[in-house]
Amino acid sequence: MVDQLKPGKSIKDTYVFDLKMSERGMRINRLAEWLNGAENRDAFKSDMDAVMDQFELTGEEKKLILDNDWLNLVKAGGNIYNVVRIAAIFDVGLYPLGAQQLGMSYEEFLETRNEKGAT
């Protein structure tokens, strides 16, 4: 197993969610956790800007969410589980999210999966 916390030993194109990333993504992750409640998801869908302002997201963080830029949301400190939670608000499933993170089309990504027909 590779120790990703040692410089020069990281796995290419991976991002370790450590304390530094957690602190950087605190606003994103708090918003995502808040989205656990159905009434909160409805509130977010009806006025995204107001909710993002409530959680004091930066302009860049807001743009990443509105642009569905999942990879850069992870790089901004979004925990992958929380990024998936935010993506679900936009009806984006795990496979389309994974495809984007790998720089592939959804169709190309599906070809890499053992189980066909997943979404």
- pTM confidence score: 0.80
Write the pLDDT tens digit of every residue in 46-95.
999 999 999 999 999 999 999 999 999 999 999 989 999 999 999 998 88
For the chain, list the domains and their CATH numbers: 19-93 (1.10.700.10)
pLDDT at 59: 97
Which pair of structure tokens corresponds to residue 19? 């304390």
Q: State the pLDDT confidence band at 19, using cuts at 50, 70 and 90.
A: confident
In angstroms, the CA 86 to CA 45 distance is 11
87 Cβ contact list (under 8 Å, min separation 6): 68, 70, 93, 96, 97
